[in-house]
Amino acid sequence: MPRARRRQSHALIHLVLGVGGLIMAFPFLWQIVMSLSTNAEVQSVTPTFWPAHLQWQNYAAVFQRLPFLSQLWTSVLITVIRTLAQIVLCTLAGYAFARMRFRGRAVLLGLVLSILLVPSQAYLISQYQIVQGLGWLNTLAGIVAPGLFSAYGTFLMRTAFLNLPAELEEAARIDGSGPLRTFWSVLLPVVRPSISVLAISAVLWSWNELLWPLVVSTRATQMPLSAALATLAGDVTVNYPVLMAASLLAMAPILILFILLQRRVIDGLASSGLK
Amino acid sequence: MSAVSADVSESAPAPAAPATRRKRRGVRRGDGLWPWAFVLPLLAGVLVFYIWPILQTAFYSFTTWGVFGGFKWSGLDNYSRLFTDPQLYRSLLNTVIYTAVVLLGVPIAAWLASLLNTPGLRFAQFYRVLFFLPYVAMPAAVALVWRMIFNGDYGILNWALSLFGIPGPSWVNTPGFALAAVSVVGLWSSLGFSMIVLGAGLKNIPPELYEAAELDGASRFRQFRSITLPLLAPSVFFVVVVTTIASFQLFDLLYALLGNHNAVLPKTMSLVYYFYNAGFVENDKGFAAAIAMVIFVLIGLVTLLQFRLQRRWAGNA
Amino acid sequence: MASFPRRALAAVAGTVAAAATLVACSSTGASTASDSDTPYSAPDTNVSANLTYAVWDQTQVKAINANLAEFNKKYPNIKVNVDVTPYADYFTKLQTEASSDSLPDLFWMNGPNFQLYASNGKIEPITGEVKAGAIDPKNYPQSLDQLYTLDGVQYGVPKDFDTIGVWVNKALFAEAGVPIPSKDWTWADLQSTAAQISQKLASKGVYGISAGMDGQTTYYNTIFQSGGSVISPDGKTSTYDSPATQKGIQFWTDLVKSKAMPTIKQLTDTTGDQWFVSGKSAMYQGGSWARSEVAAAPIAKDVMVLPVPKGDQQATVIHGLSNVVAANSQNKQAAQALQVFLASKEAQQQQGDLGAVIPAYNGTQDAFAKSMPGVDLQLFLDEVSYAKPLPVSKNTAAWNTLETNLLPDAFDGTKPVDAVLKDLTSQMNADLAKE
């Protein structure tokens, strides 16, 4: 392909992606602007695209009103435990559902997937009573327990394993590897991109979840950041800029993590392309 | 072009092949106890924390459930009340509309992912980050921003519209516009996820296929149809199923965007909001359980249909 | 292989059965009807217990901790864990806990939810504490004692209260050249004043008045002022179709129609208090709790406050929270000791001094009245003499939703007021019949 043509077609692609990207990112940019404005500027009919004076004290106000660090730690703890558990459990089960034969496979898969069909609030009281019965109220175990098991993640990993050519496995078997070894050293590396997707989903979901931790725990220090944000938003006095600052702070750790993870996802994708 | 298709089915067979083929290729006999060792850890948790509650809910849907426990068998009362409640059908319609809009994002995401996949494209990484941002954002936080954008008096959306002489409505509390606003935000926040999964699928397609097709003089569209689409099928299927299920579960976004004191809710609420309202606001838990079961069956049917369609589609590919 | 799945399933079935047993166990102990005559005596001062005290307002935690420090001087071995849950999720959590008999030992209760918990035996009456002389209901506004009484049994005394007034932006009045009404103003005064300001300041997009458009701060007040009511005294039927009630609703419809206030859609998009604090409305009918928000706004120096205007009679809505003890608390005596302490003059004085709320104990409200120099906050306290409690029933939330959904059509003139109220009455009656 002639270079000129290629560059021209790239220009069009850049236009599409650039405009699209701007639309996608706009709410965040707007949020940053609002978080640094005064309440009056936020509510002016002609938008204030840049505040007259940057109101950094909006961020200070957030830290004054929330035990930010301890809640950040809780969020991190919940997120890490759940994500690791989901990766292990879903990868194992996804592999079995995709590549192994056993009696009742279809039924069991259906059973697992069926939990996606029920509104999550419908689980609330039952799950609470189960956690209570296990004596896990007000413990980390109780907070993380139901979230260790993900039907969605199982479905995702099953799809990933289904996508693989059978030759990979057969070659390993001919070499005499057992199922665990085949799984661990041959197949797992290949589905790394999907594991990254699973990890991202699990992280986000754990990070953003609000109702369950609030319900099973009565200790403020065991509340995640998402709950803290809800506490602020529920205040009788609404100060939009402070709310914007708080929500940015609540999202910031995950956004940073994401940008770091993003590299890994792309690396994973690239390595799978080389197979 | 036929050379390309033949090449396709040989080097990377459609993974979601018909059942018979899959059995022959993917699964061998003699797996013994291994499958159980792989599946049981997950299954145990699923049974205890999810299946058991579902069974409980199913049971309670046939009872009048006291606010704080204690129940009275009431047979099909909840269901007969439910099926004669116009709010059920309104909520169902709203949910279907929302789902349809969000599903529009799947082809868009496929297209964008393929653009991002253009060899030698500069700033691809930067674009990726931009498009994935909404997906990683906290829904509660994001809804706050959108509420400001949609504000009828000083929202920037209406300001932008006014530049073109269009008077914008109070988006989140005008019937019709409220659902449109929720749907657009739903589309916005799910696009990044679809792109991430479809992008992973695209990366798995050997570039040689495109090179061969280009030598054959196949147009970009032709390449997309004959190489990309069939090879992407499992990923597309996954995204469609997951997006549909998630969209049918619409609640958080609606709740955060419209608030719970909004007169537009009866005309805008989703099935899950309807369930939440019955169970946790009106304290009618047996009735709410019946709604949950209807949601369960509905999504179940839609998902089953999608599985069927996928099998047929993959079978013909 | 053939036998393994079955065994696995058996194991799984066993797990489920175990879970079932757990659930069954946890839900059988439910309806232990509490004996309202249990006598109360203050526990020994060295009693040790771990209590959970559930609240929803983070901004009050500082004052609560100060209270607890005092409490611990008397009972050093009672440890109290303050559990803050955002309001949006507070009652969802409480319902879950109540269904599993694991309610916090002591927790905040509000009017709309009180009867639900009292009638299901989930909370402990204060009869014993009153008999023992540890709590005297006479020390609190009577209307609020009434709010927390069901079938003649009282379950709590108010910890704080709030009434409704009209916040005024003097600068906008001056700008419009409209005189500020006097404290004994009437409906007609409010209507004409607001309409004039809207008219004079139309070019700046400023309205005469804004309001929250909810029952408590807005239309319950005018309904009471016109001699109407929302629910019959026995709490069994809706009275929304009475002419007096209709008059109270019509008041707001007229204000919207005359453009004296923003439309309902505008007021949903941007709440009434936001219109006021950003200088876009000259008056705001709102609660005494708006004080902290108003004081922090740029318009604070121009603010004064008026009582709600007089209709056919003088009336406003009073509401307050109460600390209630869980009926099946494991540490009931300790929880009651804390309940008694938080109801004491000493504790409520401290609450008032720290500026968290208006304390309910008679004579402890001075700090609040003086908390905004130049603004006569005393009038919120004076209003107590003619205030009526927030209307509630056993399942208040159900018909509150109906109000939210149906009334806006009446306010913004989309449907005739009488038609909307007829519809509301019949739907509300259907909900009340279910109670």
Q: How far apart are CA A262 and CA B132, in angstroms?
A: 9
Distance from CA of B262 to the nearest CA of C (A): 7
Query: With pLDDT > 70 as the criterion, what percentage of chain B qualifies?
Result: 88
ipTM: 0.82
Nearest CA of chain B to the CA of A60: how many Å? 18
For the CA atoms of C39, C40, C43, C48, the dihedral, rounded to the nearest 10 degrees, stands at: 90
Q: Do residues C22 and A128 lie in contact, with contact meaning Cβ atoms separated by under 8 Å?
A: no
Q: Do B145 and A247 touch (CB under 8 A)?
A: yes
Q: pLDDT at position A62, please?
A: 77
CA C379 to chain B, closest CA, distance in angstroms equals 29
Nearest chain B Cα distance for residue C265, angstroms: 6
Residues B69, C401: C-beta atoms closer than 8 Å: no
Contact predicate C163/C318, CB 8 Å:
yes
Phi, psi of C153 (to 5 degrees): -110, 130
Cβ count within 10 A of residue A184? 12
pLDDT confidence of residue B314 = 60
Question: Residue B24 has what pLDDT?
Answer: 42
Residue A38 has pLDDT above 90, yes or no: no
Find the CB nearest A149 among B45, B56, B199.
B45
Answer for the pair B136, B191: CB distance below 8 angstroms, yes or no: no
E strand or H helix that includes residue C164: strand C164-169
pLDDT at residue A237 in the model: 58
Q: CA C293, CA C274: separation in Å to the nearest integer? A: 9
Q: For a pLDDT cut of 90, what percent of chain A falls above it?
A: 17
| CA–CA distance, A181 with A183 (Å, rounded to integer) | 5
Q: DSSP string covering chain A, please?
A: --HHHHHHHHHHHHHHHHHHHHHHHHHHHHHHHHHTS-HHHHT-SS--SS-SS--THHHHHHHHHS-HHHHHHHHHHHHHHHHHHHHHHHHHHHHHHHH---TTHHHHHHHHHHGGGS-GGGGHHHHHHHHHHTT-TTSHHHHHGGGG--HHHHHHHHHHHHTS-HHHHHHHHHTT--HHHIIIIIIHHHTHHHHHHHHHHHHHHHHH--HHHHHH---GGG--HHHHHHHHHTSSS--HHHHHHHHHHHHHHHHHHHHHHHHHHHHHHHHHHT-
Residue A2, pLDDT > 80, answer no
Put simply, the chain C residues between 233 and 292 with a CB less than 8 A from any chain B CB are 264-266, 268-270
Phi/psi of residue B73, nearest 5 degrees = -65, 130
Contact B197 A197 (CB under 8 A): yes
CA dist B316 → B9, B309, C425 (Å)? 12, 11, 60
Among candidate residues C328, C340, C362, C357, the one with its CA nearest the CA of residue C56: C357
Per-residue confidence band for A5, with pLDDT thresholds at 50, 70 and 90 = low
Q: How far apart are CA C297 and CA A239, in angstroms?
A: 10
Q: Which helix (H) or strand (E) holds B142?
A: helix B139-149
Helix axes B124-136, A192-208, angle to 10 degrees: 40
Chain C residue with minimal CA distance to A240?
C274
**Tell me, what's the pLDDT at A265?**
57
Which chains are adjacent to chain A, needing at least 3 Cβ pairs under 8 Å? B, C
Using the Cβ of B33 and the Cβ atoms of chain C, whether some distance falls under 8 Å is answered with yes
Paired with C161 in beta bridges are C358
B contact test, residue of A79, A149, A200, A267 with most B CBs within 10 A: A149
- A chain contacts of residue C92, beta-carbon cutoff 8 Å: 124, 211, 215
The verdict on a CB contact (< 8 Å) between B299 and A162 is no
Beta bridge partners of C170: none
Given CA atoms B223, B226, B227, B232 in this order, what sign does their dihedral have? positive
> From C262, which residue of chain B is nearest by alpha-carbon distance?
B153
Q: Is C32 an 8 Å CB contact of chain B?
A: no
Q: Count residue pairs from A and C with Cβ separation < 8 A.
A: 107
Q: Which residue in chain C has the smallest CA separation from B65?
A: C99
- Owner of token pair 């409220």: B178
Tell me the chain C residues in contact with residue A103 when contact means C-beta distances shorter than 8 Å. Answer: 1, 5
Nearest chain C Cα to B68, which residue? C99
Q: What is the pLDDT of residue B207?
A: 76
Hey, are the CB atoms on B23 and A208 less than 8 Å from each other? no
Asked if B51 is an interface residue toward chain C (Cβ–Cβ < 8 A), one would say: yes
Closest alpha carbon within chain A to C28: A129
CB contact under 8 A, A128 and C277: no
Q: How many CA atoms lie within 13 A of C191 on its CB side?
A: 15
State the pLDDT at residue C70.
95
Nearest residue in A to C20, CA atom: A130
Q: Other CB atoms closer than 10 Å to residue C340's CB: what's the count?
A: 21
- Residue A80 scores a pLDDT above 90: yes
The one-character DSSP state at C310 is B
Please give the full DSSP string across C315-362, using - where no structure is assigned.
-EEEB--EEEEBTT-TTHHHHHHHHHHHHSHHHHHHHHHTTSSEE-ST
What torsion, rounded to 10 degrees, do the Cα atoms B129, B135, B137, B140 define? 160
Residues of A in contact with C5 (CB under 8 A): 102-104
Residues of chain A positioned with their CB less than 8 A from the CB of B49: 123, 127, 130, 145-146, 149
Chains adjacent to C (≥3 CB pairs closer than 8 angstroms): A, B
Contact C27 A129 (CB under 8 A): yes
The model carries a pTM of 0.84
Residues 6+ apart with CB under 8 A from C425: C238, C239, C240, C241
Using CA atoms, how far apart are residues A35 and A50, in angstroms rounded to an integer? 11
Closest Cα in chain B to C213:
B261
DSSP for residue C123: B
**pLDDT per residue as tens digits for the range B80-111:** 999 999 999 999 999 999 999 999 999 999 88
Indicate the helix (H) or strand (E) that contains C283: strand C281-287
Contact criterion met (CB < 8 Å) for A132 and C26 = yes
Which residues neighbour B43 within 8 Å (Cβ) at sequence distance 6 or greater?
Answer: A93, A108, A111, A112, C12
User: In C86-158, at which residue ranges do the beta strands (DSSP E only) sit?
Assistant: 106-109, 149-150, 153-154
Alpha-carbon distance C136 to nearest alpha carbon in chain A (angstroms):
31
Q: Which chain C residues touch A227 with a CB distance below 8 Å?
A: 85-86
pLDDT at res. B220: 78
Q: Which among A137, A220, A236 has the least Cβ separation from residue C84?
A: A220
Residue located via tokens 């029933």 = C393
CB-nearest to A30 from B135, B149, B214 is B149
pLDDT digits (tens, 9 = 90+) for C71-84: 999 999 999 999 88
- pLDDT (tens, 9 = 90+) of chain C, 435 residues, equals 333 334 433 444 444 444 444 444 333 333 344 444 567 888 888 889 999 999 988 888 889 999 999 999 999 999 999 988 888 889 989 988 998 889 999 999 999 999 999 999 999 999 999 999 999 999 999 999 999 999 999 999 999 999 999 999 999 999 999 999 999 999 999 999 999 999 999 999 899 999 999 999 999 999 999 999 999 998 899 999 999 999 999 999 999 999 999 999 899 888 899 899 989 999 999 999 888 888 888 899 999 999 999 999 999 999 999 999 999 999 999 999 999 999 999 999 999 888 778 999 999 998 888 888 889 999 999 999 999 999 999 989 889 999 999 999 999 999 999 999 999 999 999 999 987
| The two structure tokens encoding residue C126 | 């204060």
- Asked if the Cβ–Cβ distance from A159 to B238 is below 8 Å, we say yes
User: What chain C residue is nearest to B169 in terms of C-alpha separation?
Assistant: C265
pLDDT tens for B22-40 read 444 444 455 678 888 889 9
- Does any CB of chain C come closer than 8 Å to the CB of residue B265? yes
Ordered strands of the C207-211 beta sheet:
C207-211, C281-287, C164-169, C303-307
Residue B131 CA to residue B117 CA, distance in Å, equals 14
CA distance to partner chain C, nearest, from residue A43 (Å) = 8
Residue C371 in contact with residue C377, Cβ under 8 Å?
A: yes
Question: d(Cα B115, Cα A9) in Å, to the nearest integer?
Answer: 10
Distance in Å, alpha carbon of A218 to nearest chain C alpha carbon: 5
β-pairing verdict for C207-211 and C281-287: parallel
pLDDT less than 70: residues of chain B: 1-31, 204, 313-317
Cβ of B299 within 8 Å of Cβ of A230? The answer is: no
Which of B11, B27, B28, B38 is best to mutate for the A interface (most A CBs within 10 A)?
A: B38
Residue A263 is predicted with a pLDDT of 66
Task: Answer yes or no: do C96 and A128 touch at CB < 8 A.
Answer: yes
C27 contacts on B by Cβ (under 8 Å): 69
Residue C109 DSSP SS3: strand
Angle among Cα C280, C282, C287 to the nearest 5 degrees reads 100
Cβ pair C88:A103 closer than 8 A: no
Identity of the residue in A43, A132, A214 whose CB atom sits nearest the CB atom of C100: A132
Tokens of B171: 């988006």
* Cβ–Cβ below 8 Å for A231 and C270: no
Residue from A107, A218, A238, A243 to probe the interface with C (highest C Cβ count within 10 Å): A218
Report yes or no: B240 at the A interface, CB cutoff 8 Å.
Answer: no
Q: Which two tokens stand for residue C41?
A: 């005596």
Length of chain C: 435
C-alpha to C-alpha distance for A151 and B46, rounded to whole angstroms: 8
Say if the Cβ atoms of C58 and A231 lie within 8 Å.
yes
Among A46, A89, A95, whose Cβ lies nearest the Cβ of B41? A89
- Integer angstrom CA distances of residue B251 from A135, B257, B277, C307: 30, 10, 11, 40
Rg of chain C in Å (alpha carbons): 25
